C-alpha cells in the first residue's frame, strides 16, 4: 500500500461513524472533568481534536496547496488552531466533532437519495440465456447483441430490451414505469432490461445491447445528475471562499479594538460557513432521490431550479398527450344487411395479410373482440391506395375514397358528411366496399392518455399554462386539445416551426417547459428553458437532449415535478437564509462576549445540523405524493 493510499485509509477511518462516536465519548469525558474541576495531566479533548479534526485539517491544506482553493474547511482549521492556542481544547474538539456529525448526516442524506440508483444497479442482470445453433447458452450481458434470441425463465431478470417472440408471461416493470402490479405480456410486446419475469418462460429478441438498454441509460442519467452542480450551489461555493478572508479580517478587528483574544477566536468559530455550504447539495440530492422513487430522472440540480420557474408547459401531441398508437374508434355500416360487427369481420379478413399500420390496427381490433376471420382466396396491396381481397368469390376493397371510386364503387354524397365529421376529430378513415357496392367506414384514431385532463387541471393549480405544439392538422389538434382542456393550440408545425414558437413564447416573458418524445421534438426540447422527454417510448435523441426523463411515460407526474422543484428551491433559499441569520447573530453575540468558543461552536454547528436534517426531510415529505391520477406512491 502506498503512503497516499495509507493516509487516505486512515482519514476515511477517522471520519467514519465509529470513530466519530469515540470522539464524542472523549469530549463527554473532557466536559465532565471540566465541570468537576478535576485536573488531569492529559485532556481527553486532545483525542477528539485528533480524531475528528485531522481529516478536516488535511482537506483544508490539500485544497489550499494543490487545488489553490480556499474552502470552509480552512476556516474551521484556523478556528480549531486558534482555540487550542488560547487553551480552549474542548471548544476545538467540539468544533471538529460537530462538523464530523454534520458530514455524516450529509453522507446519510446523499446515501438515501442515491438509494434509487443503487437499486437500479443491483437490478442490472449479469448474464442471459442466448438461444443459438448449439442450443441454450449462458453468456455475460455484455456479449448480447441486437437480434439475439434470449430465453427468460420465471423469476429471472430480463437481460436486454427486446420484443417477445414466444410465450406469455407477466412482468414486474415497476422500476421503469412505477406500475405497482405486474403487466401481462405476450408475443409482440416490448420488455425492458432489469424488469422481472414473474410467471411464464418467454423468448425475446434483443433490440439493444446491454450498454444501450433503457436501464443503462437510466443509471447513466442518475449518475450524471449526482455529479452536476446547480447554479445556486456554485454561488454558495463562491460565498464560502469569500467568507474565509472576511472572518479573518473581522477577528483581527475585534482583537484590535477589544484586546480579547477569546472574542476573536469565538468569531472564527461561529463564522465557519458550514451550514451555508451544506444548504444546496443536500436539498438537491434529496429532491433527485424523491423524484427517482416515481420514475422521474432529473439530470441536474440546474434542471430543478429552472423547472421551478416554469409558467408555460408546451406539449407535443402524438405519443405525449396521446398514447401514440392507432386503434379502431368507429365501425359504421351503410349497408342495412350488414351490422357493424359483420362489417368488421369482412374488413379484418380482407386486411389480414396487410403490412400497413391501419390494416394491422383493424386486424388487431378484430382479434381483441374475439372475432373469427373469413378465409381469403387472394390478396393484393396497392401502395398508397388500398387493398383488394377475394372473399367468398367477392372482391372486397379497403382503402381511400379515390381508390374505391377508381374501382367502380359508388359512394353517395351523404357519406361525405360522415367522413368530414370523422376527419375533423383527427381520425384516419378506411372505406370498405364489396364488388361495386359501398358498405361502410372504419375510423382509426390515436387515443388521449386517460390521465391528461386531470393533469392539465393540476397545471392550472400550480400556475403553469398548457400549450399544444403539433405537426398534425388543426382539426385533429383542436379535437385532442378540447378533450384535454388545453386552450392554446398551434398546429401544422414542422420541427423548426416548433422552435420558433417556443422562442416567441420566451420573448413574451414566459419560462417554457417542452415535453416530447420523438426525434422531431429534439430541437424544441433543446430550445426550451427546461425539457422533459418520454423515457420509455421516446427516441434516444429526445431522451438524451432533455433535462428530465419520465421513465414510465406518465405525464400526470408533471404537476408533481413542478411542485417538487418549487419546494426544493424554496427550501434551499430558506436554508441559506437561516444559516446566514444564525451566523450573523452568533457573530454579534461573540463580539459582545456573550458567547465563548464552546457555546459559539454549539450555536453555529446546531445550524449546520438543522440544515442537513431539513433537507433530509424533503426525501420523504408526503406533501409531494402523487395524486390518484398520477399513480400510487411507491412502497
Q: Alpha carbon of 481 to those of 326, 449, 485, 496: distances in Å?
A: 18, 12, 6, 22
Task: Respond yes or no: is residue 316 known to be catalytic.
Answer: yes
As a whole number of angstroms, the distance between CA 315 and CA 69 comes to 44
* Residue 161 near residue 193, CB atoms below 8 Å: yes
Cα 108 → chain centroid: 21
The DSSP element (H or E) to which 211 belongs, if any, is none
- Find, among 137, 129, 130, 117, the residue nearest to 224 by Cα: 117
Choose among 475, 506, 504, 507: nearest CA to 491: 475
User: Whole-angstrom Cα distance, residue 435 to residue 227?
Assistant: 67
Q: Please name the residue ranges forming H helices in 125-213.
A: 174-177
- Residue of 43, 161, 316, 517 marked active site: 316
The rounded distance, in Å, linking the Cα atoms of 429 and 593 is 85
C-alpha closest to that of 540 among 220, 292, 290, 191: 220
| 32 CB neighbour count, 10 Å cutoff | 11
Confirm if 601 and 269 have CB atoms less than 8 A apart: yes
Please give the Cα distance from 487 to 504 (Å, whole number).
Answer: 17
d(CA 215, CA 569): 29
Please state, in angstroms and rounded to a whole number, the distance separating the CA atoms of residues 491 and 317. Answer: 10
DSSP of 296-325: EEE--HHHHHHHHT--EEEE-IIIIIB-SS
Distance CA 94, CA 79 (A): 11
Residue positions annotated with a catalytic role? 316
Amino acid at each position: 500500500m502506498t503512503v497516499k493510499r495509507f493516509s487516505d485509509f486512515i482519514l476515511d477511518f477517522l471520519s467514519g461513524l465509529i470513530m466519530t462516536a469515540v470522539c464524542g465519548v472523549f469530549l463527554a469525558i473532557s466536559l465532565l472533568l471540566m465541570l468537576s474541576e478535576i485536573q488531569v495531566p492529559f485532556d481527553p479533548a486532545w483525542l477528539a481534536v485528533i480524531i475528528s479534526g485531522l481529516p478536516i485539517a488535511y482537506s483544508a491544506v490539500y485544497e489550499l496547496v494543490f487545488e489553490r482553493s480556499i474552502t470552509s474547511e480552512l476556516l474551521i482549521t484556523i478556528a480549531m488552531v486558534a482555540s487550542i492556542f488560547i487553551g480552549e481544547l474542548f471548544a476545538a474538539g467540539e468544533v471538529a466533532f460537530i462538523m464530523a456529525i454534520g458530514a455524516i448526516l450529509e453522507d446519510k442524506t446523499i446515501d438515501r437519495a442515491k438509494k434509487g440508483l443503487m437499486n437500479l444497479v443491483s437490478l442490472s442482470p449479469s448474464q442471459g440465456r442466448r438461444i443459438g445453433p448449439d442450443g441454450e447458452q449462458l453468456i455475460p450481458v455484455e456479449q448480447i447483441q441486437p437480434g439475439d434470441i434470449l430465453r427468460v425463465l420465471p423469476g429471472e431478470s430480463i437481460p436486454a430490451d427486446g420484443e417477445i417472440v414466444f410465450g406469455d408471461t407477466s412482468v414486474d416493470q415497476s422500476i421503469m414505469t412505477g406500475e405497482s402490479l405486474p403487466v401481462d405480456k405476450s408475443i409482440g410486446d416490448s420488455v425492458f432490461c432489469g424488469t422481472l419475469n414473474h410467471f411464464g418462460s418467454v423468448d425475446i429478441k434483443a433490440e439493444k445491447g446491454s450498454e444501450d438498454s433503457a436501464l443503462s441509460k437510466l443509471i447513466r442519467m442518475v449518475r450524471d445528475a449526482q455529479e452536476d452542480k446547480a447554479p445556486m450551489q456554485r454561488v454558495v461555493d463562491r460565498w464560502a471562499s469569500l467568507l474565509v478572508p472576511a472572518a479573518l479580517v473581522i477577528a483581527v478587528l475585534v482583537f484590535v479594538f477589544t484586546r480579547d483574544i477569546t472574542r476573536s477566536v469565538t468569531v472564527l468559530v461561529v463564522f465557519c460557513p458550514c451550514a451555508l455550504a451544506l444548504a444546496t447539495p443536500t436539498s438537491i440530492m434529496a429532491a433527485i432521490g424523491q423524484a427517482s422513487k416515481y420514475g422521474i430522472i432529473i439530470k441536474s440540480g440546474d434542471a430543478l431550479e429552472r423547472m421551478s420557474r416554469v409558467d408555460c408547459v408546451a406539449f407535443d401531441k402524438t405519443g405525449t398527450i396521446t398514447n401514440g398508437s392507432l386503434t379502431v374508434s368507429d365501425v359504421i355500416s351503410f349497408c342495412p344487411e350488414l351490422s357493424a360487427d359483420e362489417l368488421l369481420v369482412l374488413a379484418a379478413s380482407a386486411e389480414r395479410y396487410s403490412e400497413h399500420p391501419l390494416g394491422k390496427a383493424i386486424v388487431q381490433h378484430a382479434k381483441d373482440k374475439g372475432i373469427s376471420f373469413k378465409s381469403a382466396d387472394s390478396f393484393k396491396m396497392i401502395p398508397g391506395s388500398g387493398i383488394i381481397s377475394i372473399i367468398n368469390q367477392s372482391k372486397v376493397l379497403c382503402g381511400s375514397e379515390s381508390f374505391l371510386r377508381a374501382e367502380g364503387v359508388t359512394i353517395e354524397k351523404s357519406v361525405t358528411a360522415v367522413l368530414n365529421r370523422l376527419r375533423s376529430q383527427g381520425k384516419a378513415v378506411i372505406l370498405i366496399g364489396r364488388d361495386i357496392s359501398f358498405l361502410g367506414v372504419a375510423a382509426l384514431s390515436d387515443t388521449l392518455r386517460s390521465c391528461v385532463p386531470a393533469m392539465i387541471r393540476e397545471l392550472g393549480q400550480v400556475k403553469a399554462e398548457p400549450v399544444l405544439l403539433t405537426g398534425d392538422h388543426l382539426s385533429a389538434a383542436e379535437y385532442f386539445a378540447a378533450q384535454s382542456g388545453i386552450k392554446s393550440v398551434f398546429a401544422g408545425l414542422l420541427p423548426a416551426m416548433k422552435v420558433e414558437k417556443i422562442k416567441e413564447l420566451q420573448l413574451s416573458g414566459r419560462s417554457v417547459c417542452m415535453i416530447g418524445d420523438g426525434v422531431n421534438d429534439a430541437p424544441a426540447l433543446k430550445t426550451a428553458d427546461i425539457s422533459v422527454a418520454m423515457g420509455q417510448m421516446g427516441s434516444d435523441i429526445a431522451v438524451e437532449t432533455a433535462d428530465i426523463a419520465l421513465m414510465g411515460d406518465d405525464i400526470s407526474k408533471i404537476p408533481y415535478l413542478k411542485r417538487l422543484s418549487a419546494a426544493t428551491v424554496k427550501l434551499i433559499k430558506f436554508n441559506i437564509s437561516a444559516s446566514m441569520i444564525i451566523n450573523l447573530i452568533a457573530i454579534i453575540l461573540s463580539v459582545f462576549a456573550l458567547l465563548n468558543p464552546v457555546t459559539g461552536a454549539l450555536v453555529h454547528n446546531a445550524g449546520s445540523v438543522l440544515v442537513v436534517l431539513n433537507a433530509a426531510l424533503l426525501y420523504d415529505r408526503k406533501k409531494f405524493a402523487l395524486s390518484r391520477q398520477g399513480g400510487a406512491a411507491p412502497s
